[in-house]
Amino acid sequence: MRCLKLAATTLLVLLLAISAGCERKIVMNEDGGDTELQCFGCHTDQDLSLVEARAQWETSNHGIMETVDRGSSGSCRPCHSSEGFLENVTGEDFDGQAVSKIGCFTCHAPHTNETFALRTEEAVELGNGAIFDGGEGNLCAACHHGRRNVETYVFDGVELSQHFGPHHSNQSDMLAGENAYEYEGVSYTNSPHTTFVVNACVDCHKADPVARYVGGHTFRMVYGEEDDEDINVDNACNVSGCHSDLEDYNRPATADFDWDDETEGVQDEIEGLLDSLKTLLIDEGLLVYYEEDDAYEPPEDYILSDADSAGAVFNYLYVHEDKSEGIHNTSYAVALLQSSINFIANGDPTGAPATPTGPPFAAIRSH
In the 3-class helix/strand/coil scheme, how is the chain assigned residue by residue?
CHHHHHHHHHHHHHHHHHHHHHHHCCEECCCCCCCEECHHHHCCCCCCHHHHHHHHHHHCCCCCCCCHHHHHCCCCHHHHCHHHHHHHHHCCCCCCCCCCCCCHHHHECHHHHCCCCECCCCCEECCCCCEECCHHHHHHHCCCCCCCCHHHHCCCCCEECCCCCCCCCCHHHHHHCCCCCCCCCCCCCCCCHHHHCCCCHHHHHCCCCCECCECHHHCCCEEEECCEEEECHHHHHHCCCCCCCCCCCCCECCCCCCCCCCCCEHHHHHHHHHHHHHHHHHHCCCCEEECCCCEEECCCCEECCCHHHHHHHHHHHHHHHHCCCCCCCHHHHHHHHHHHHHHHHHCCCCCCCCCCCCCCCCCCCCC
pLDDT band at 29 (very low <50, low <70, confident <90, very high): low
Among 92-101, 124-133, 345-354, whose mean pLDDT is lowest?
92-101
Is 366 or 52 the better-scoring residue by pLDDT?
52
Residue 135 has pLDDT above 90, yes or no: yes
Summarize the confidence of residues 38-61 as an average pLDDT.
Answer: 81
Of 39 and 243, more confident = 243
Higher pLDDT pick, 194 / 80 = 194
pLDDT tens digits, 256-284: 999 999 999 999 999 999 999 999 999 99
- The reported pLDDT for the residue numbered 365 is 24
- Between 104-113, 147-156, 346-355, the lowest mean confidence (pLDDT) is in 346-355
How does residue 102 score in pLDDT terms, banded at 50, 70 and 90? confident
pLDDT of residue 359: 36
Q: Which of 28-42, 48-62, 90-104, 139-153 has the lowest mean pLDDT?
A: 28-42
pLDDT, residue 367, reads 22
pLDDT digits (tens, 9 = 90+) for 166-191: 998 999 999 999 999 999 999 999 99
d(CA 98, CA 183): 44
Tens-place pLDDT, residues 61-79: 888 777 766 656 667 888 8
What is the rounded average pLDDT of the residues 283-312?
A: 97
Kindly state the average pLDDT of the residues 298-325: 98
User: How many C-beta atoms lie closer than 10 Å to residue 149's C-beta?
Assistant: 15
Report the pLDDT value the prediction gives residue 107, as an integer from 0 to 100.
93
The pair phi, psi for residue 18, each rounded to 5°, is -65, -45
The predicted structure's pLDDT at residue 338: 96
Going 218 to 219 to 221 to 226, the CA torsion angle's sign is negative
